């Protein structure tokens, strides 16, 4: 760590404490050369699982892609962008809590749908209609009637998709930007 006053890298820690939630360590340092004091913060780098695409490719998790899809779905709806940010952060925390190295893109998509469903039904329908690529109106209506799908369990392996049989043809998933 370089001293902000004299750029020396000779430093000693004079105080070290952890914050209330236990995820940030604050260190008070003193420069050995100029005795200037400064503070550093240390936190664990957040590790997100890789996203498994439909064709089997693995991609780094991309927050922007998910946020982008949610923004499109909530266009002209009374949903603050900050709320979307919070929802994505919540999804990320859950993804991290699973401790998996990789996670299917559709699991992420399902989590987004579940959040949108709670947030704004129109946004949910928009997102779902793009994401799920309903074949016809009946299928779509059936989905809407079934829209109160259970979101309670947090186990990603139990997150099944009623439209999974459709999978081979549908080109969309939440993380891909739906090209």
Q: Name the site residues for Zn ion (rule: CB under 5 A).
A: 3, 5-6, 8, 31, 33-34, 36
Minimum distance, C-beta of residue 37 to Zn ion, in the bound complex (Å): 9
Minimum distance, C-beta of residue 16 to Zn ion, in the bound complex (Å): 19
Whole-angstrom CA distances from 95 to 37, 70, 121, 131 are 38, 17, 24, 20
Q: How far apart are CA 171 and CA 156, in angstroms?
A: 21
Q: Which is nearer to Zn ion, 5 or 71 (CB)?
A: 5
Which pair of tokens denotes residue 6?
């004299």
Minimum distance, C-beta of residue 33 to Zn ion, in the bound complex (Å): 5
Q: Which is nearer to Zn ion, 37 or 53 (CB)?
A: 37
Q: Which is nearer to Zn ion, 24 or 34 (CB)?
A: 34
Q: How do the residues of the chain divide into helix, strand and coil, expressed in percent and rounded to 5?
A: 40, 15, 40
């Amino acid at each position: 760590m370089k001293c902000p006053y004299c750029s020396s890298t000779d430093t000693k820690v004079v105080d070290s404490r952890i914050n209330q939630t236990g995820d940030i360590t604050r260190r008070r340092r003193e420069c050995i050369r100029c005795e200037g004091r400064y503070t550093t913060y240390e936190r664990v780098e957040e590790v997100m699982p890789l996203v498994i695409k439909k064709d089997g490719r693995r991609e780094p998790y991309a927050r922007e892609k998910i946020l982008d899809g949610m923004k499109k779905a909530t266009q002209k709806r009374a949903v603050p962008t900050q709320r979307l940010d919070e929802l994505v952060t919540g999804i990320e925390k859950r993804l991290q809590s699973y401790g998996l190295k990789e996670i299917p893109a559709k699991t992420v998509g399902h989590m987004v749908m579940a959040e949108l469903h709670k947030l704004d039904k129109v946004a949910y329908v928009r997102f779902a209609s793009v994401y799920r690529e309903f074949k016809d109106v009946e299928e779509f209506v059936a989905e809407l009637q079934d829209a109160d799908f259970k979101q309670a369990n947090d186990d990603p392996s139990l997150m099944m998709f009623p439209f999974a049989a459709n999978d081979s043809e549908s080109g969309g998933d939440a993380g891909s930007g739906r090209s």
